[in-house]
Amino acid sequence: MFSFILRKLATVIPTFIGITLVAFALIRMIPGDPIEVMVGERKLDPVMHAAAMQRLGLDQPLHIQYFRYVKDLAQGDLGISLVTREPVTKEFLTLFPATVELAICALLFAVLVGLPAGMIAGLKRGSVFDHGVMGVSMTGFSMPIFWWGLILIMYFSVTLGWTPVSGRIDIEFDIAQRTGFLLIDSWLSGEEGAFKSAAMHLILPTIVLGTIPLAVIARMTRSSMLEVLREDYIRTARAKGLAPTRVVVVHALRNALIPVITVIGLQVGSLLGGAVLTETIYSWPGIGKWLVDSISRRDYPVVQAGILVSATIFIVVNLFVDILYGVVNPRIRSAK
Amino acid sequence: MSLLKIRNLRVEFGSLAHPFPAVDGLDFDIDRGELVGIVGESGSGKSVTMMALMGLIDAPGRVTADELVFDGHDLLKLKPAQRRKIVGKDISMIFQDALTSLNPSYTVGFQIKESLKVHMGLRGAALEKRALELLELVEIPAAKSRLGAYPHQLSGGMNQRVMIAVAIACNPKLLIADEPTTALDVTIQAQIMDLLERLQKEHNMGLIMITHDLAVIAEMAKRICVMYAGQVVEQAPVADLFRAPRHPYTQALLEAIPEHSKGARRLSALPGIVPGHYDRPKGCLLSPRCRYAQDKCSQERPALLDGVRCYYPLNAEGESTHG
């Protein structure tokens, strides 16, 4: 098992180097530089522009800039935002918990609803339930996220007034940041109504962000279940005289979950990388929104860091999934 | 009283309006400690019959029978939960491809112990001991270390031995082996057959050996049952069947054994295939493929009389007895 993990880690290194290159190059390919964007429509004196660029170190040849970036990176320094002049790491750490909180809730929603729904649909193939689940998940999968988010706001927030429109918590609450997760912090604060407010703010973004993962998980679980139920070893399990629930839970489910775990892992990676649309619609102060804002400001260090961190999370989650995969599927573990 | 008594078993698939009988009025008996071979080509209903016996036919498949009595229990009248107390304990079954028939996610030990836990209620040290004993019984070397192995780490022959260990775990009264050696090398085939024969004798089990290869069971079985298109077409002691087959289909099967046709330049083959859903003959099911078929054969179904389902059974010289 240990060498399995080491082998997996070794494959990560080249990927990581590739990401730093891409993150560095991509943002510089967009026309305009940070100074021009800051100045905007006003006319800019070329001398002042050059001086500003020099001050930011952006006048250096690209390879020098890249090596400086990598050198800082190796020391754990993500640089300083060109716009706010704050360390990128600090900004990231304030915003990341919001993304994580939303991602965890969305994923829980997707797994807790999607897995059982897909499983039952697979077991009751061709039933009304099966058709219902597949229809709903197809709809969920094909729906544009921004439209779905707006529809929910219009109905539940505006018409019914059940949930708040946007943000993480009502403005009247001033919650001290301890964990960064507002659900926990508001609970710890002991302020009356704070936890409820935080929870209510989470509901709609959770549903919107969880919809696509839910649809994917439900479909994958169903098809995987159907496939496994046709396997010879299921016939063997039944020939042993095992009860139907034991056949499904012990013999079918474990094998059916193998591909589902991969799918869930991929979803975790993309959810943690920041939900750009959902965070924007609900003014959710997470890293998705941060990244989008920084791109329009050509805030090079922030964009580089944002891409790098998102990609790293994606890689780490995938690595974790691979390891988990090895735990669930003994055939992978011994593969050389 | 026989251990298993099947009368007029029918297994149908397809719609109620256009049913397809995979097993069509099958009668079968086996006694305690008896070894019976069932032969027939692919699609003759051998496996489906046994699946029906095990209760493994799912809707839309339909199983009916006048009698399906095992050891005094009419299986079709039992509730599913009661039936599961018999299936896997007193009747058990091994399958063709052992690797795919074992669950890839669990160790061999787990899969053997599962039956012992569910049916015998064994736990702890007794469970461990019995599992080890079973692996030794099926002649797996280094049995102790193999308990923790996964099926993909074992060879095909080893996996089939594990399957056998699972099947005999609860000392079944009847073991069904559904082409247990088809997926194995010839040398391993012989070993597995010897093992099954030994276990059958030692434990006085009824053993139904399903195969499409007559030669495989010629030496082992006392009695052979030949199936075609869901029916038993001939049933006879091995020696009689080999010396003087009475049904044209049995004759054709025997002629297809290479050792039986020494001197012939070409191996004899029966033309055509087993009838399917839409080309099931009105008369004798073999009539379109039978070289001796007469008018009567394509008009009416013959019944199983005196161990053979044919209007014109072959005589001792292998000639047809019509006109």
Residue A96 CA to residue A289 CA, distance in Å, equals: 11
CB B56 to CB A231 under 8 A? no
Closest listed residue to residue B183, CA positions, set B121, B100, B263, B305:
B100
Inform me whether the C-beta atom of residue B171 falls under 8 Å from chain A C-beta atoms: no
Domain boundaries, chain A: 31-77, 94-144+209-333
**Residue A309, CB half-sphere, CA atoms under 13 Å: how many?**
26
The nearest alpha carbon in chain B to A252 belongs to: B103
C-beta of residue A136 within 8 angstroms of C-beta of residue A217: no
Question: Which positions ≥6 away from A277 have C-beta within 8 Å?
Answer: A145, A146, A149, A288
Closest listed residue to residue B21, CA positions, set B40, B43, B6, B50:
B43
**Residues of chain B numbered 104-123 and touching chain A (CB < 8 Å):** 104-106, 114-115, 118-119
Give me the residue from B85, B101, B152 closest to A236, CB to CB. Answer: B101
Confidence at residue A48, expressed as pLDDT on a 0 to 100 scale: 82
Confidence at residue B261, expressed as pLDDT on a 0 to 100 scale: 63
Residue B259 CA to residue B273 CA, distance in Å, equals: 23
CATH topology of domain B1-83+174-185+205-323: Rossmann fold (3.40.50)
Inform me whether the C-beta atom of residue A327 falls under 8 Å from chain B C-beta atoms: no
**How far is residue A179 from each of residues A98, A193, A286, B241, measured CA to CA in Å?**
10, 19, 15, 83
What would the two tokens of residue A97 be? 């918990």
Give me the residue from B85, B95, B119 closest to A236, CB to CB. Answer: B95
Give me the residues paired with residue B74 across strands.
B69
pLDDT tens digits along B97-121 = 888 999 999 999 999 999 999 999 8
Position A131 pLDDT exceeds 90? yes
The nearest alpha carbon in chain B to A238 belongs to: B56
Inform me whether the C-beta atom of residue A235 falls under 8 Å from chain B C-beta atoms: yes
Question: Which positions ≥6 away from B26 have C-beta within 8 Å?
Answer: B6, B8, B9, B10, B45, B49, B227, B230, B231, B232
For residue A336, what pLDDT band results from cuts at 50, 70 and 90? Answer: very low
Task: For chain A, give the percent of residues with pLDDT over 70.
Answer: 98
Closest listed residue to residue B54, CA positions, set B89, B14, B97:
B89
Q: Å from B103 to nearest chain A CA?
A: 5
Q: Å from B96 to nearest chain A CA?
A: 10
Give me the residues paired with residue B232 across strands.
B227
CB A232 to CB B56 under 8 A? no
ipTM, 2 decimals?
A: 0.88
Domain boundaries, chain B: 1-83+174-185+205-323
Inform me whether the C-beta atom of residue B102 falls under 8 Å from chain A C-beta atoms: yes
For residue A44, what pLDDT band results from cuts at 50, 70 and 90? Answer: confident
What would the two tokens of residue B51 be? 């699946």
What would the two tokens of residue B152 be? 């993909």
pLDDT tens digits along A196-233 = 888 899 999 999 999 999 999 999 999 999 999 999 99
**Which pTM does this prediction carry?**
0.80
Confidence at residue A167, expressed as pLDDT on a 0 to 100 scale: 84
pLDDT tens digits along A229-261 = 999 999 999 999 999 999 999 999 989 998 898
Q: Å from B151 to nearest chain A CA?
A: 9
Using an 8 Å CB-CB cutoff, list chain B residues near A239.
54, 56, 87-88, 92-93, 95
Residue B165 CA to residue B115 CA, distance in Å, equals: 10
Confidence at residue B94, expressed as pLDDT on a 0 to 100 scale: 93
Inform me whether the C-beta atom of residue B124 falls under 8 Å from chain A C-beta atoms: no
Optimal mutation site among B47, B101, B134, interface A, most CBs of chain A within 10 A: B101
Angle at the Cα of A142 from the Cα atoms of A137 and A143, rounded to 5 degrees: 100
Q: Which of A131-140, A165-174, B207-216 is most confident?
A: A131-140
Inform me whether the C-beta atom of residue A124 falls under 8 Å from chain B C-beta atoms: no
Confidence at residue B185, expressed as pLDDT on a 0 to 100 scale: 84
The DSSP letter of residue B117 is I
**How far is residue A45 from each of residues A30, A35, A52, A55, B79, measured CA to CA in Å?**
22, 11, 11, 15, 91
Q: In what order do the strands lie in the sheet with B174-178?
A: B91-94, B174-178, B206-211, B35-39, B223-228, B231-237
Position A334 pLDDT exceeds 70? no
Task: Determine whether domain A94-144+209-333 maps to CATH 1.10.3720.10.
Answer: yes
pLDDT under 70: residue ranges of chain B: 1, 260-264, 322-323
Number of cross-chain residue pairs from A and B with Cβ atoms under 8 Å apart: 72
Amino acid at B57: I
The nearest alpha carbon in chain B to A328 belongs to: B105
A299: buried, middle or exposed (CB in 10 Å: 19+, 13-18, 0-12)?
A: buried
Residue B269 CA to residue B291 CA, distance in Å, equals: 12
Secondary structure (3-state) at A146: helix
Optimal mutation site among B103, B163, B170, B171, interface A, most CBs of chain A within 10 A: B103
Inform me whether the C-beta atom of residue B59 falls under 8 Å from chain A C-beta atoms: no
